[in-house]
A and B are shown apart, each in its own frame.
Chain A
Amino acid sequence: MSEVGAAAPRRPIISARGLRKSFGALEVLKGIDFDVLPSQVSVVIGPSGSGKSTLLRCCNGLETADAGSLEICGRTLVDHGRRLPEPELNALRTRVGMVFQSFNLFPHLTVLGNVTIGPRKLRDLSAADAETAARRLLDKVGLASKADAYPSTLSGGQKQRVAIARALAMEPQVMLFDEPTSALDPELVGEVLLVMKNLAREGMTMMVVTHEMGFAREVGDVVSVMDHGVVLESGPPAQIFDAPLHARTREFLQAVVTRAGPKPQATQPATAPLAIDDH
């Protein structure tokens, strides 16, 4: 980070300008400007198909934007459709943690194996060091006792917490969450949100695509609303949820609230006991 005067704005960890992406004839991102500042929790909400997951996936090169520019951790990931060369992209990805909707744990490895494989192969950590770090992370997500289990024996919530530990093991500068609780049974959502909340509290920079409005309101520093490939509006949660500028935002929030019940509902498990343990 460049040392400019204290008054100068901090340099964003993620910075997108005029980002465009099409799949065939369908334009999914229509010129996105988007910033995530260090230690900020940036939540992206919006209806399905609004492009929010694509935006997130662009941020670690799983998708390549067709136009516009994208800067991550001080590196230019994409500029006018030209992506960072493969070796540099791989290096950049080690600093960008990603958590998927469907967990994507490696089923042929134990929980410990899942968390240590990245550091061992990519950060040149010794097996012993990687294991020590992994056990600490598993403890942090409340799964220390599951280190030797295989993913198939875990619940969805446990799987997602392992996936978070796996991403954290690379000691990333920013964590990307792609609808991390959408594939979970309702009663398992809380334990994952709690881990994410603790992470935010520790100052981790996070970009979170989610339908959990309670989480967005409570933990988000900035909430952005996407619709049809554009960011409709962006601001502090109170503004977005209580005084949205856009009619489309109001419609979306209305629809979500009608479906999910009043707002505190989703938050409840996340604010519940701080110590999470295996079931």
Chain B
Amino acid sequence: MDFDFAPVFHGWRALAHGALVTVEVSVGAIALGCLVGLVIGLGRLDPRRRVVYALCSAYLTVVRGTPLLVQLFIWFFGLPVIGIQLPAFFCGIVGIGMYSGAYVSEIVRGAIQSIDRGQMEAARSLGMPYRMAMRSIVIPQAVIRMIPPLGNEFIAVIKNSSLVSLVTIADVMHEGQKIISVSYRSLEVYLAIAVVYFALTNLTGFALRFAERRLAVGGLVQ
């Protein structure tokens, strides 16, 4: 058994650049996912607002119920058929971001609904309008409960971002495969790629734990 990491070391610039692209796609997708998730999650708080609830539920079931790879291929290979040609990078971020948004919406909804009803009642009884009560009383408390499940979701996004290599985006996965195609050192290169993802996901986990602790000091956690 002989390992040869030389191709990895030779190709480190390409891999580093790919890692940067992975970070860009992930950050973009996470940001979009949070935004979409907040909107869809808030839209599913009250089933009595029928139209909004139905639209948001439809989004959730469709997006969560189909594979991310299929969605990415629709964005990049499917839409051009009807004349919509979007840049690969855009497809990658929007595809993953909207997919992640479905999951984030359930995190948002669950956290908000886990806040005791009395909090909303107390805020309303002071005379606060619904939106103000939501913004200044309920959501700040819900955010802290969102952090652990959001951590899972962000990590999933980072790992799922490897799929964008299949829609021509030069992320770390893509760059690695280019190195393999000329060196045939697949095990070494994939291990190197795994290390990059491992570092990114754990950095994210660490950052979120830090944020959770900071918020706890601020009195948000009981």
Contact = CB atoms under 8 A, between A and B. Distances in A.
Contacts of A75: none
A121 B122 contact: no
Contacts of B65: none
Count chain A CB atoms within 10 A of each CB in B123, B132, B219 and give the residue with the most. B219
Interface residues of A, number: 31
8 contacts: A96-B125, A100-B121, A100-B122, A102-B118, A106-B122, A108-B141, A117-B136, A121-B128
A91 B222 CA distance: 32
Interface in B180-222: 218-220, 222
A231 B219 CA distance: 44
B124 interface: yes
B212 to A, nearest CB: 14
Contacts of B125: 60, 62, 93, 96-98, 167
Interface of B: 116, 118-119, 121-130, 132, 136-137, 140-141, 144, 218-220, 222
Contact of B127 (A94, A105, A106, A150): A94
A169 B34 CA distance: 36
Interface string A149-177: 01010000000000100110010000000
Cβ-closest 7 pairs across A and B: A94-B127, A104-B122, A104-B118, A98-B125, A93-B127, A150-B219, A118-B126
Given A90-B128, A122-B127, A150-B219, A106 B137 contact: yes
A22 interface: no
Main secondary structure of the interface of A (DSSP, over half): mixed
B121 A170 contact: no
Interface of A: 60, 62, 86-87, 90-94, 96-98, 100, 102, 104-110, 117-118, 121-122, 150, 152, 163, 166-167, 170
A163 B219 CA distance: 18
A62 B124 contact: yes
Contacts of A94: 126-127
Nearest to A117: B136
A108 B219 contact: yes
A262 B222 CA distance: 39
Contacts of B127: 90-94, 118, 122, 170
A255 to B, nearest CB: 28
B118 A93 contact: no
Contacts of A60: 125
A118 B129 CA distance: 11
Interface centre among B118, B119, B122, B126 (most CB of A within 10 A): B126
B118 A109 contact: no
Contacts of B122: 98, 100, 104-106, 163
Contacts of B129: 86-87, 90
Contacts of A91: 127
Nearest to B121: A62
B222 A152 contact: yes
Given A100-B121, A104-B121, A117-B136, A109 B219 contact: yes
Nearest to A94: B127
Nearest to B120: A104
Contact of B132 (A102, A108, A121): A121
A133 to B, nearest CB: 14
A110 B219 contact: yes
B218 to A, nearest CB: 7
Nearest to A122: B127
A91 B122 CA distance: 15
A107 B124 contact: no
A91 B130 CA distance: 13
A43 B35 CA distance: 49
Contacts of B126: 93-94, 117-118, 122, 166-167, 170
